[in-house]
Structure 1
Amino acid sequence: MYPLLFRTVLRRLDPEFAHHLGALVIRLAGVGPVASVVRATTAPPAPLTVRALGLTFDSPFGVAAGFDKNVTMVRGLRALGFGHVEVGTVTALPQPGNPKPRLFRLVADRAVINRMGFNNDGAQVAARRLRAVRRSRRRPVIGVNIGKSRAVAVEDATTDYVRSARLLAPLADYLVVNVSSPNTPGLRGLQAVETLRPLLAAVREAAGSTPLLVKIAPDLEDGEVADIARLAVDVGLSGIIATNTTIGRTGLRTPDAAVEAAGAGGLSGAPLKQRALEVLDLVRAAVPDDFVVISAGGVETADDVRERLAHGATLVQGYTAFLYRGPFWARQINRGLAARR
């Protein structure tokens, strides 16, 4: 039913507007009795439970940062079957993000280009909402993804990240430093090891006992991936998320004119699958066996999740395929995983 709805109605809507409509449905799915009814049909089977980061995940499959930027859909996403929800990216200062339009579908590629620019309500508001969610017994594992405020100069990025970490780490099950979005000027330059080391060390101290991870880009050279992986271990992080969106545009089925019309931004979805798998292999080869690696990028099916786990991922995240496969996507994946156990 959802594919028909997408083909006939949703794909005709502005993508960002359609996302807001979907968010209303997801929020409803997390409300009281509705959540109980929905969860009865979507709860991951018990054999899928994963222990990582000192936490228990109902399923290895969760939703990546970027979907719930403002901590408004956590309960609904749990009701739909996701084993964890990574909220954000949250910045210390509230910001509107980049000018619209800033989200574009590439339907032929089952992909999306976005240049949202970390639009969010800021760390203070996110903290208030996290406190409310944490009072609920029925919540998933919650990761909080933090980024640099656009108004803050790159040379002051560490102070900005630390400010967010001090406020949000006590309310997060795990915290993620995002230095890999292509939509904030200068941000990806922070992935250089000599710059990244002091930043991660400072945030690690500010995060206290909360597990800290770093999210990296797929566009790094192979040697840079390995260097950052080793740095993460050396600095005392708990894990790495690989990967964010790509600035690449090769191999797309969508006509070049349409891709060019969409403009700059990060590409996510099916075209990212192969590189995300390659980066997973590079990271896994550079870190100890017990180091947590979360794989994201191009995940669509239970077989995709199974493949990432077989390549050493501890957990797997998805986002873009949610837009194409509909509200019961997590349930489909969890049932597919359970069927092949």
Structure 2
Amino acid sequence: MLYPLIRQFFFAQDAERAHGIGLCGMSFMKSAGLLGVLAKPAPACPVEVMGIQFPNPVGLAAGLDKNGEHIDALAGLGFGFLEIGTVTPRPQAGNPKPRLFRIPEAQAIINRMGFNNAGVDALIANVRAAKFPKEGGILGINIGKNATTPMEHATEDYLICLEKVYPYASYVAVNISSPNTKNLRELQKDEALDELLSRLKAQQITLADRHGKYVPLALKIAPDLDDLQIKAIADALRRHRFDGVIATNTTLARDGVEHLPNGQETGGLSGAPVFAKSTAVLGKLAHALAGEIPIIGVGGILKGADAAAKIEAGASLVQVYSGFIYRGPELIGEMGTAAAAALRARASR
């Protein structure tokens, strides 16, 4: 019952300011030994995905902790894994403010942050200072391109980030699906996607040899894809032997929020309104991949049944972001219980 009171305070603040205060507050509670007041961890449910043993299938999606400044506090809430970023080679301020908008009537958020982050070197320093990875915690690092990098040189940005984060990541997520960096989603198209995946895969093999460990690569895709695009992406993932895919990022659609305050703000829509679209893409992708490549399901999870639906559609793991803002830490345990039951049911079929 504590979180609804906390949320009332935060929702009275500017959304981006509240985001920063909330993360700092969690880190303070962690250092003071008070995080258990909020935390309701997901139950143990070991699941192996991408060659990694996850203690439970519930993860935090990228975007909440862009610079990896609050890893240990977030880990203390009971997630099975964390994904930090999106990080770019060079620091960048992102898009002009305001750029983060709540739509409480629809349990939704619109953001046009634009990969605001302190750069890959700052993120690595924060990861090295955190206890969670040293203690075996599973940490995904989400990588992107700088806004000022021309699209014809986008691959170089991803390769720079991959090389730098490789020693510190449990897996690396390749974000080509944010709607808030101009033309970024063009990388999801055939020739551009082939070049990007080919060069990332070659770099991964080189780095695995150099560091003596294999770090999986997962591609994060948009929900705004038609059936032919989904099949083309599935074929490319198979062809380049990618290790996983994250479905999905935010949507450009405004179904369900058109007439609500903030509903027409530009940017990516997340939260409850994206659930059906995201889960439909996930299901089609799962069918196209036929179990060859695992899927992490994310998009619109606000309750345990939503997490179970992602598993039933073909996901092996689930992630949350907007639902965590609206529901708080209790959602982690609820998702974990439902996802574990769905995974057991699938295994028994």
Scaled by the length of structure 1, what TM-score is found?
Answer: 0.92
Change (3 A) 1:173 1:289: same
The answer on whether the counterparts of 2:42 and 2:334 sit within 8 Å (CA) in structure 1 is: no
Post-superposition offset of 1:51:
1.1
The answer on whether the counterparts of 2:308 and 2:338 sit within 8 Å (CA) in structure 1 is: no
Aligned twin of 1:217:
222
Q: Aligned match of 1:259 in 229, 244, 263?
A: 263
Q: Aligned match of 1:179 in 176, 199, 203?
A: 176
CA shift digits 1:263-283 (9 cap, x unpaired): 210000000011111111111
Q: Secondary structure at the match of 2:318?
A: strand
1:82 correspondence with 2:79:
yes
CA shift digits 1:254-303 (9 cap, x unpaired): 6356423xx21000000001111111111111114241101110111111
Aligned twin of 1:42:
40
Aligned twin of 1:3:
4
The answer on whether the counterparts of 1:29 and 1:38 sit within 8 Å (CA) in structure 2 is: no
Aligned twin of 1:234:
239
Aligned twin of 1:326:
328
**In structure 2, how many angstroms separate the alpha carbons of the residues matched to 1:135 and 1:269?**
27
Letter in 2 for 1:294: I
CA RMSD, 1 decimal: 2.1
Letter in 1 for 2:234: A
Q: Aligned match of 1:62 in 59, 71, 87?
A: 59
Post-superposition offset of 1:132:
2.4
The answer on whether the counterparts of 1:182 and 1:188 sit within 8 Å (CA) in structure 2 is: yes
Post-superposition offset of 1:138:
3.9
> Which runs of 5 or more structure 2 residues have no equivalent in the other structure?
208-213, 345-349
The answer on whether the counterparts of 2:110 and 2:267 sit within 8 Å (CA) in structure 1 is: yes
Change (3 A) 1:288 1:169: farther
Q: Secondary structure at the match of 1:42?
A: coil
Post-superposition offset of 1:334:
2.6
Change (3 A) 1:198 1:339: closer
Letter in 2 for 1:310: E
1:306 correspondence with 2:304:
no
Letter in 2 for 1:158: T
Letter in 1 for 2:194: R
**In structure 1, how many angstroms separate the alpha carbons of the residues matched to 2:80 and 2:293?**
19
**In structure 2, how many angstroms separate the alpha carbons of the residues matched to 1:169 and 1:205?**
13
Change (3 A) 1:212 1:12: same
Post-superposition offset of 1:52:
1.1
Change (3 A) 1:294 1:335: closer
1:21 correspondence with 2:13:
no
Q: Secondary structure at the match of 1:144?
A: strand
Change (3 A) 1:256 1:109: closer
1:206 correspondence with 2:207:
no
Range that drifts further, 134-143 or 174-183: 134-143
The answer on whether the counterparts of 1:75 and 1:140 sit within 8 Å (CA) in structure 2 is: no
The answer on whether the counterparts of 1:29 and 1:80 sit within 8 Å (CA) in structure 2 is: no
CA shift digits 1:175-218 (9 cap, x unpaired): 01111000001101111011011111112222332100111111
**In structure 2, how many angstroms separate the alpha carbons of the residues matched to 1:32 and 1:241?**
35
1:130 correspondence with 2:127:
yes
Q: Secondary structure at the match of 1:259?
A: coil
The answer on whether the counterparts of 2:311 and 2:339 sit within 8 Å (CA) in structure 1 is: no
Aligned twin of 1:154:
151
Post-superposition offset of 1:26:
2.1
Letter in 1 for 2:285: V
- What percent identity do the matched residue pairs reach? 40
The answer on whether the counterparts of 2:88 and 2:146 sit within 8 Å (CA) in structure 1 is: yes
Range that drifts further, 52-61 or 269-278: 52-61
The answer on whether the counterparts of 1:31 and 1:75 sit within 8 Å (CA) in structure 2 is: no
Letter in 1 for 2:275: K
Change (3 A) 1:136 1:34: farther
CA shift digits 1:149-192 (9 cap, x unpaired): 11211111011110111001221100011110000011011110
Letter in 2 for 1:68: D
Aligned twin of 1:194:
191
1:117 correspondence with 2:117:
no
Letter in 1 for 2:12: R
The answer on whether the counterparts of 2:272 and 2:301 sit within 8 Å (CA) in structure 1 is: yes
Letter in 1 for 2:10: L
The answer on whether the counterparts of 1:38 and 1:80 sit within 8 Å (CA) in structure 2 is: no
**In structure 1, how many angstroms separate the alpha carbons of the residues matched to 2:304 and 2:132?**
32
The answer on whether the counterparts of 1:295 and 1:316 sit within 8 Å (CA) in structure 2 is: yes
**In structure 2, how many angstroms separate the alpha carbons of the residues matched to 1:74 and 1:6?**
21
**In structure 1, how many angstroms separate the alpha carbons of the residues matched to 2:131 and 2:203?**
21
Change (3 A) 1:139 1:30: farther
Change (3 A) 1:316 1:337: closer
Scaled by the length of structure 2, what TM-score is found?
Answer: 0.90
